Amino acid sequence: MSLRARLVLAAAYLLVVVVVALELPLGSAILERAEATYRSQVLSLGAIVASRISDDVARSGADPAVPPTPTQFINRTVRENAGTTRIIVVDALGRVLADSDGQAAVGESYLDGDRPELEAVFEGPTTRGTIVIEQRFSADLNQELLYVAVPVLHNGELTGAVRVSAPTAQLRDSAIRNSIRLGVIGLGVILAGLALAWILAGSLAKPVRALERVALRVAAGDLEARAQPAGPKEVATLARSFNQMAASLSANLTAQQDFFANASHQLRTPLTGLRLRLEAIQEEGGFAAQQAQKAELELDRLSKLIEDLLELARASSVKDSGSTVELTELAREAVDRWSATAQAAGKRMRLEIDGVSTVWASPADLGHVVDNLVENAIRYCPEGTEVTVEAGSHDGVPRLVVSDDGPGI
């Protein structure tokens, strides 16, 4: 995962946590406020109706022995104020005086135990009554209802009650709408935050990607590549440190190459003089000539080591991007090149080709590797050994093998 993606993911996690942490209590508070407002509205409706009809209720149900006779004013007031609610007015004995829906008959007792809110009104202080608010499920209407019962007072005496029943569906719908609004706002905040995080993460990741590209160039051998100190302070400091490291690496490598080249060239002169002296001793004959011959063999090994050092110095200084190398052709050239040497040493060279296979490499470096392998096989195997150079592919993978039938190490 890229640095930019990590930063955006971290910002997304933080935004979601913050939005959820804010919106959950906010949504709960809005719901509680809506419920309180709705209850207050229903209670106000009941109180207004009770206040307006208090005189008529006192006259309509004054005599317990006589059936109640509600006035037209009570019926008109109840119908005009009901709206989406249902308003029922009862007298001091719990007998129905008016019903906005017209379902309850006048004189029907509503203190039958099925309407606890009305019973609670009359169970309070007899002179003042008790305001009751409760919410319960109505089996008849198959929905949740809010019930508000308000005492009707006349000259300070409890003469009846007004019960208002209001459906809570609109309260639930309002809560759903508010939740959707909060969700949309929260989603908008998250999307806006992610967009800002994407822009900021891009500004932070851009100099890091530039530094990465320069690092890849240095790793590929371009020691002159340098990073641009840009971006945040930490990234700019890192770029400057990287440039110092690349410069130091380039200087050290140059010094190493110079050392190999100078040391090798400086050693050639005394070695040439030493070889001439050994050849002169061999011409004199005797025991000294035998020792001189052995010393010349060691001198050959030393010369070969110096040549290898020179080759190493040249390989380190040359930037070879590589090319397509055909292994079969490389193997064939190696066998042709070393056949005479192997024959002179009493060995045989054999070439095995198994199809055509190519690789991407430096032709000079790969040829040098094959030459070293073949030379070692010829040098250290006993006479009569067969050295095989095999080129081809195995399971689709290019392969080049140098082997011999000697005793091994």
Q: How far is CA 14 from CA 8, 10, 253, in A?
A: 10, 6, 48
Tokens found for residue 44: 């106000």
Q: What is the predicted pLDDT for the residue at 316?
A: 59
| 133 SS3 class | strand
- Contacts of residues 254-258 at CB distance under 8 Å and 24 or more positions apart, as own/partner, are 256/316, 257/313, 257/316, 257/317
| Rounded distance between C-alpha atoms, residue 37 and residue 34, angstroms | 5
Q: How far apart are CA 61 and CA 94, in angstroms?
A: 10
Cα gap 45→149, rounded to integer Å: 11
Assigned fold of 233-317: Helix Hairpins (1.10.287)
Return the CATH number of 323-404, one of 3.40.630.10, 3.30.565.10, 3.65.10.10, 1.10.10.10. 3.30.565.10
Is this structure's pTM higher than 0.85?
Answer: no
What is the Cα–Cα distance from 240 to 229, expressed in whole angstroms? 6
Q: What is the C-alpha R_g of the chain?
A: 52
E strand intervals along 355-408: 358-361, 386-394, 397-404
DSSP of 54-100: HHHHHHHT--TTS-----HHHHHHHHHHHTTSEEEEEETTSBEEEET
Report helix, strand and coil shares of the chain as percent, to nearest 5.
60, 20, 20
Both structure tokens of 90: 């009862």
Beta strand extents in 96-156 (DSSP E only): 96-99, 132-138, 143-154
Q: Which residue bears the tokens 């942490």?
A: 21
Exposure pattern of 300-314 as b/e (b: 16+ CB <10 Å)? Answer: eeeeeebeebbeebe
- The whole-number pLDDT of residue 314 equals 63
Residues 93 and 101: beta-carbon distance below 8 Å = no
Q: What is the pLDDT of residue 300?
A: 81
Q: Do domains 3-173 and 233-317 have the same CATH topology?
A: no
In whole angstroms, give the CA distance from residue 71 to residue 73.
Answer: 5
Helix/strand/coil (H/E/C) assignment for every residue in 300-334: HHHHHHHHHHHHHHHHHHCCCCCEEEEHHHHHHHH
pLDDT by residue for the chain (409 residues), tens only, comes to 777 788 888 888 898 998 888 888 888 888 888 888 888 999 999 999 999 988 888 887 666 777 777 778 888 888 888 888 889 999 888 888 989 888 888 888 888 778 888 888 888 655 567 888 988 888 777 888 999 999 998 888 888 899 999 988 877 888 888 888 888 998 999 999 999 988 888 888 888 888 888 888 888 778 888 888 887 888 889 889 989 998 998 888 888 777 777 776 677 778 788 878 888 888 887 788 888 888 888 888 888 777 777 776 666 555 555 688 899 999 999 999 999 989 988 999 999 998 888 998 888 888 888 998 998 888 888 888 899 999 988 888 899 999 988 776 5
Residue-level pLDDT at 241: 92
CATH code given to domain 3-173: 3.30.450.20
The residues facing 98 across adjacent strands are 89
Q: What is the distance between the alpha carbons of residues 117 and 147, in angstroms, rounded to a whole number?
A: 7
Q: What is the DSSP letter of 142?
A: T
pLDDT value at residue 48: 92
Every domain of the chain and the residues it spans = 3-173, 233-317, 323-404
Structure tokens at 79: 């119908």
- Pairing label, strands 386-394, 348-354: parallel
pLDDT of residue 313: 64
Instruction: Work out the burial of residue 353: count CB atoms within 10 Å of its CB; fewer than 13 is exposed, 13-18 middle, 19 or more buried.
Output: middle
Q: Which of 48, 71, 52, 51 is nearest to 61 (CA)?
A: 71
In contact, 85 and 166? CB cutoff 8 Å: yes
Q: How far is CA 260 from the centre of its chain?
A: 50
Give me the pLDDT at residue 299, please. 82
